[in-house]
Chains A and B, each alone.
Chain A
């Protein structure tokens, strides 16, 4: 899959301005008939592409997203079941096949149009336009914290309510009673006047012949019975007894195992190999040379790995062998300076007149921040099982975009997409890494050489060194404070721009702002990393805001609070975190407290971190997290995602650092790419504000704010301002020793 951003999407040419509605007039129609053979067994009634009813009155919800621990396989069925008034005990889920009919048009629509309302006669056309485009783009992705807010809101709830509407109509027709006298409850239709009650299935056959409304009446939050409750997740029981099947667990008949070594310097090609020692080793089946890698196929992973270790591999040189991390930073600085002085920076946000504002009397503050490259390090190493024949290819893999994978494989093998089958499995962590089809394409290239299925498993070393990395970046700020401590000008320059678009933006009242960026290409591959650009910008902006508070001699919470007059949701979140964290109570000696406030994928999160300095060792005691996602459809799952995002961000803040040496990644495994463990894991308290705003995401929004809250707490305790992550590279000592 190519890089997908909101901008890229719009510039595909299909969805531009008015052409969106008028230029494309393909109606999606009722696609239930088309998908029925893929998703249903005999006797089941496919109500629409998102749900089917079985003879025993159980409902199966078809979820077009991958489960990687975020709970989407449970929360999305909850949204459909509630609108349908289904009995939750009778609801099952099934992951949608990697098929064009399940391209995420709802997701694309959500990204482009948000909650924009359309007259019902246009809905089919708009949906059709998006379906067409997402089919072409091969989008069936899980990411951008989007499942609930787009698929849930724009597909699941409507599918549930629409199905209920036609079931009610079918019952009214069958019983000859007025529609208004009927109600749906616990997967049955009731008519209280005649004391009749029959299960949904009794009306299903008739109901599917009726046209389901494009804009059915949806429930108000006070009518919810399933949404907003914390149902047990469907996937958990399999994850406590070892039976959950991850990609790496797939076993198919006659399968062999492979492992691979790709060129350590990104972009270089294979020159030659000497496999004399291993060619006849027992259990070794084949040594496969790829353009930029060598793989060994064997009877077991261990044999493959040992054999590969003994193959002498020479890669070509392409000039990148001389690049070290400092060269990249030097290049960044050069490119930023050149771009700025040539007036070539891209404008991200321009408000007021920054130039004049800096001429006004005031205190000018400048700072520069840096963040390193980061790997995803999903705990399940990259893997994919592939079986290639002359006219088909079957994959077994846990991925975040099965349709996109199928399209890439079809293109590689010159097959029709219908000849490629992707069997998506549980993902042992995604975090953005499993969007990329690199491993699947390797597996296909290897399996193409033999007539049996091959399971390709990467070593952890391969995983750390061949990721698609969150980029290293530099962000420079200059701001001016007036004598009352108000920010009157804000200038921010950084590199690169992906998603979410608002990542570098601040919620504070600053009339004059100039936010701008340029690009400084390197040979290090980039990828979506949990919270994407927010993972950097929250650290940059919320650290700098803290510096400004210090310069204004105002408490960091009060400083933020006083400049949020145009952002009432942010203000509520901030005030609640201060209250829950007892912001104004004194801390013990050598403790510190820090705060942050950031919006990411539609959810606003504030965090307060409490730390203690123990003989120059940092102890993170407690994180108080307040989040406003608009509405938390599964409160416990939402809390779990806040906890998860915080630990992920904490690992990055404390330890996360991928460095480049001689063109390749220096780190290789968990001993030098360190993770937060149980003994370093703080107490996390989450509080949710259901403000009623359009729903925001859950999987990513808590990751960005932990780093600045933590470094702000370190400043509070020690007086040391950390402007470059990770924290492990700084020697921390207590306030009195530093400031004197």
Chain B
């Protein structure tokens, strides 16, 4: 089976019912996507599939074939960080950092759908992602900051992700 992640093809030979999360981490070696709960409760495993934020711990491999998948490793354009990543650094969002890949992927899906989210929009899009270090207020600031940057540089909006 061929799995396409961040535009790169990976040949994988595992049981097709294996959750995408474990294939991404163990077969493809992309460990930025995290295991947190295994039941879709925490959002640490969030990746973007065909433009939607999905929980890769509940998504079987066989439904992921021939789909465009983006992980945290694929959101920058080469060495140029995504506006969300820059905002995350400026606001010093991460603490332990374990949930942040998932947070960033959910935030990316949000800004793709809604370039100027208000607080309720952010609550709705981000409440599936647990942060045990409680960085929520900084995540909120980071999303708003990135939204402003993306609005002022429209080309960034389309070039960075699937």
Contact = CB atoms under 8 A, between A and B. Distances in A.
B69 interface: no
A728 B75 CA distance: 39
Contact of B97 (A301, A428, A644, A679): A428
A676 interface: yes
B132 interface: yes
Leading 8 A-B pairs by shortest Cβ distance: A242-B32, A647-B134, A69-B95, A428-B98, A239-B97, A69-B96, A242-B72, A681-B136
8 contacts: A235-B97, A242-B73, A246-B34, A246-B98, A431-B132, A644-B134, A670-B37, A675-B132
B41 interface: yes
Given A302-B18, A460-B38, A675-B132, A640 B92 contact: yes
Given A236-B88, A426-B97, A678-B126, A379 B36 contact: yes
Interface stretch (B23-31, B48-56, B147-155): B23-31
Nearest to B132: A379
A677 B124 CA distance: 10
Given A257-B26, A302-B22, A379 B99 contact: yes
A346 interface: no
Contacts of A675: 42, 130, 132
Contacts of B84: 240
B139 interface: yes
A242 B135 contact: no
A251 B31 contact: yes
Interface string B64-99: 000000011100100001001100110011111111
Interface string B117-147: 0000011101111111111111110000000
Nearest to A636: B92
A443 to B, nearest CB: 16
Nearest to B30: A242
Contact of A678 (B81, B96, B122): B122
Given A240-B88, A240-B89, A669-B37, A678 B123 contact: yes
A233 B92 contact: yes
A207 interface: no
Contacts of B130: 379, 670, 675, 677
Contacts of B100: 239-240
A669 B57 CA distance: 14
Interface residues of A, number: 62
Contacts of B85: 240-241
B135 to A, nearest CB: 7
B92 A379 contact: no
A248 interface: yes
Given A242-B33, A300-B26, A669 B41 contact: yes
Contacts of A240: 81, 84-85, 88-89, 93-94, 100, 104
A398 B137 CA distance: 26
B67 to A, nearest CB: 19
Interface in A132-162: none
Given A377-B132, A640-B95, 17 more contacts: A69-B96, A235-B97, A240-B88, A245-B31, A248-B35, A257-B26, A302-B19, A380-B96, A381-B36, A426-B97, A460-B39, A645-B134, A647-B134, A677-B136, A678-B122, A678-B129, A678-B139
B96 A68 contact: yes
A70 interface: yes
A644 B95 contact: yes
A266 to B, nearest CB: 22
A245 B25 CA distance: 12
A607 to B, nearest CB: 14
A429 B29 contact: no
Interface in A230-276: 230, 232-233, 235-246, 248-249, 251, 257
A543 to B, nearest CB: 22
B137 A683 contact: yes
Contacts of B126: 677-679
B105 to A, nearest CB: 10
A589 interface: no
A241 B123 contact: no
A218 B139 CA distance: 38
Nearest to A378: B132
A667 interface: no
Contacts of B96: 68-69, 378-380, 426-430
A490 interface: no
Given A236-B94, A428-B98, A644 B139 contact: no
Interface in A65-87: 68-71
A116 interface: no
B31 A241 contact: no
A192 B60 CA distance: 69
B140 A678 contact: yes
A52 B37 CA distance: 41
A429 B30 contact: no
A671 B39 contact: yes
A669 B42 CA distance: 10
B26 A301 contact: yes
Nearest to B136: A681
A459 interface: yes
A523 to B, nearest CB: 27
Contacts of A243: 32, 73
A669 B37 CA distance: 7
A670 B41 contact: yes
B108 to A, nearest CB: 12
A471 interface: no
Nearest to B101: A242
B76 A244 contact: no
Nearest to B85: A240
A237 B79 CA distance: 12
A429 B134 contact: no
